[in-house]
Structure 1
Amino acid sequence: MTQYFVYGRDRAGTGDLKGRLTEEHWAFMDRYAAELIARGPTLTEDREESTGSLHIVDLPDDEALKVFAYDEPYYVGGAFETVELYRFHNRTGRTMWEFATAVEGYNRYLVLTKDESRPLSSDHLIVYGDLRDGDTHVGRAALVEAPDAAAAAELVEAEHAEVHPGEFGGRR
């Protein structure tokens, strides 16, 4: 099995479409429940609207990845502007469900970098790892809890980070 990072960035104005497809999306993801390492939406700064959909999943091969990414209801329905697919090397060795409860006053963030790999250690790292295109290291991805976006980037020790507010996903 290989771990993969899959991030669909929402097409502008697709909030209603994603709302209509949510149950279908959840049913699709239910088929992968045992393989999911992390999942959830990224959100606008005010955390009111979706900006994307993140999944880190353990799959047998690249063909299974294509089915996961391109048969997914949000993708099929046209909700995504782009979909990023990378191999993922999970440096925390856990799933988001194994992460301890959140710190009061902290929010969750997805932090993406295009810099070098480095080990990190923090009680606020939920899932953290390297992004790879084949054998080439292309960056890092981290799900973190932090008081704000700047603190999230600092936690990942990234000068130039793309920080997205987010939350744990799945059925509510």
Structure 2
Amino acid sequence: MSTSPTPPEPGKALFDRIGPALSRLRRRTSGGRGDLTRNLILNVVADASGEVTVGAVAAEMGVSQPVVSRTIAACITDGLLRRAASQADGRRTVLELTHAGETERHRFASEQRATFERITAAWDPAERVQFAQFLIRYSQDASAWATQQTRRSEDDARSHPESP
């Protein structure tokens, strides 16, 4: 058990604390703002099921394309990403993870694992495992939910085209 258990809170009050907690978690387990953004971008590119563009990275991260473009340009300069012609449409440029980018992702993951282990060192081992499993499940379910929302938006746009 943790040395400082949090008392249970009823429904809404507890759930209202999830977003801020996830935000703090992300800020506290990265090597800094640059590392956090770079790690997010590398993971978005690596996790993509198909070709990924700068616009797709921006959409996945919920930021504007100009915001993400600067970090992507830095990742390209540092050899972590490369631009390539789309295999589906040669006019489009897509992003690919390089070997150095994959190595950097592994470095970030190792740092985050070590941070998790330090933060949860006083936890019962079963609690650590359960929390990790729930966090991964939440992430997977959030991705599936976001994909579903995107499909709904696209379906709505197709079924309700705007009149000129």
Q: What TM-score do the two structures reach when normalised by structure 1?
A: 0.22
Larger radius of gyration: 2
Larger relative contact order (C-alpha < 8 A, sep ≥ 6)? 1
